[in-house]
Amino acid sequence: MLEVRGGNPLDGTVRVRGAKNLVPKAMVASLLGETPSVLRGVPKIRDVEIVTGLLELHGVRVSSAPDGDQPDGELHLDPADVAQGSIVDIDAHAGSSRIPILFCGPLLHSLGQAFIPDLGGCHIGDRPINFHLDVLRQFGAEVVKTPGGIMLKAGSRLQGTKVELPYPSVGATEQVLLTAVRAEGVTELRGAAIEPEIMDLIALLQKMGAIITVDTDRVVRIEGVETLRGFIHRALPDRNETASWASAALATGGDIFVAGASQPELITFLNIFRKIGGEFDVQESGIRFRHPGGRLRSFALETDVHPGFMTDWQQPLVVAMTQAEGLSIIHETVYENRFGFTDALRSMGAKIQLYRECLGGTPCRFGRRNYLHSAVIAGPAALKGTRIDVPDLRGGFSHLIAALAAQGTSEVHGIELINRGYENFLDKLSGLGAEVSA
C-alpha cells in the first residue's frame, strides 16, 4: 500500500531508459544468436526480471554490471548452453507475464520444442493467444494442449509462410518476426504492426544477420537464414513512460524534465499535449513538460494503432482531462475494457460517463459488442483523496497521478503492478516533490 498526499505540483527531473515494450522482446531475441548479445538502456522493471529468470531457466547466462559501474543499464546475454527448462519452474516463474509466448519461435529453432504456461498480464481486454498459435502452426509447429499450458514441437526446420493478420497486433507481429528469421524460405506478413518498438526489434534482428524488408501498407517480408549472431543494441527510450510523466505534469500543474525522452516516437502525443494547453520544450537530452497556468482545453480524441494516438497514453491523459474546461470525448478502439480504471476517478470526484457507442469516426471493433469503450469527461473537477485499488499497469500509474492531483490523502493498493513498467517510480516521485510513503 502507498499513501499519497496530493495537491502539490510535481517539479524536477526524471530519467527514462529503454522501452518496456521492446526490452523484454529484445532479450528473447538473444536466444536466436549463436554468440552473446549486449543490450543497453535496460530499465529495472518487473518484466525484465521475469524474462531474465525465464532465460536463465533455459540455460542462458544473463549478467549486468552494478549501476555504480555501469549506469547505462547494460545486460549481457549468452545463449551458448540453451536447454529446455522445467515445465514446473517455467509455470511458476511466468504466471504474471505474457512474454513466454514469444519464446516459442526461438526455442523451436534451437531445441525443437517449447512450453507455454497459462498466461497472465494486465486485465484490460481480450488478448487471446490464438493469433500466436495459428501463426506457429503455419510455420509447421505442432501444438499440443496440456493441463498446465501448451507444448509446441517441430520435427524439422520451420518453414516460411504467408501470414495475414486480421488486426495489426503487436504481439502477433513480434511472433512472426522472431520465428521467421530462422525459418526456411520467405515469410510474408500482411497487416503487421509498425509501432516504433517493432521497428527497433527489426533493426536489432538485422544486426544479428536477419534479412527483413518493410514495405508500404503494413507488409513485412522476412528471408529466413540458417544462423544468426548476437547483437549489440541500445533500446529506444520508453515513450509510454515519457507520456505518463508528461500527463502527471499537466494534471498537477507541474513542470517535469524527462531526461532521455525522444521526440520522433512522441509526435502524435505532443500534438495533443499542445492542443490541450500544455507546453513542452524538446532539448538534446530530453523533453521538458509543463503546465503554463490557466485552464486546460477540452478536446475529442480517438486511440488507434501506430501512427495513431496510443492506447497506453490514454489513461494517464484522462486524469489531466478531468481538469480541462468543458466536455472531452475519448473513443478507445484498441482495448475494449481500458476504461475500467475510471471507477476510481469517479470515486475521487471526476465527472466521467462511459458509453457503448462509438463516439468517433475511427474504425472500431467494439461498437456492436456491448463494451463501454467511449468516455465523456466534464471538467474541471475537484478531486479528493480516497482508497484506490490498482487494476493494471497504465491504469495504476494513472491512479497515482490522480492521487497526486487530488486534495487530501489517498491509499493506493496493488502498486506492485506498476513495477512492471515504471523503473524506480517511488524514488522518481519523491525526487519531484511528491509526498508518498509505503
Instruction: Show which residues are catalytic.
Output: 122
Give Cα 302 to chain centroid, integer Å.
19
Residue type, 223: E
Our CA angle for 345, 305, 275, nearest 5°, is: 60
For 22, other C-beta atoms within 10 Å of its C-beta total 25
| Long-range pairs, 129-135, Cβ under 8 A, ≥24 | 129/98, 129/101, 131/165, 131/169, 131/171, 131/172, 131/175, 132/101, 132/104, 132/171, 132/172, 132/175, 135/163, 135/172, 135/175, 135/176, 135/179
Task: In whole angstroms, give the CA distance from residue 62 to residue 23.
Answer: 14
For 56, other C-beta atoms within 10 Å of its C-beta total 14
Task: In whole angstroms, give the CA distance from residue 331 to residue 424.
Answer: 31
Burial class (CB within 10 angstroms; exposed 0-12, middle 13-18, buried 19+) of 156 = exposed
C-alpha cell recorded at residue 418: 506498476
Task: In whole angstroms, give the CA distance from residue 211 to residue 202.
Answer: 9
Residue 365 contacts residue 384 (beta carbons within 8 Å)? no
3-class DSSP assignment, residue 361: coil
Task: In whole angstroms, give the CA distance from residue 422 to residue 240.
Answer: 10
Residue 125 contacts residue 85 (beta carbons within 8 Å)? no
CA atoms within 13 A on the CB side of 163: 35
Torsions phi, psi for 328 (to 5 deg): -110, 145
Element (H, E) at 251: helix 239-252
Our CA angle for 418, 421, 425, nearest 5°, is: 60
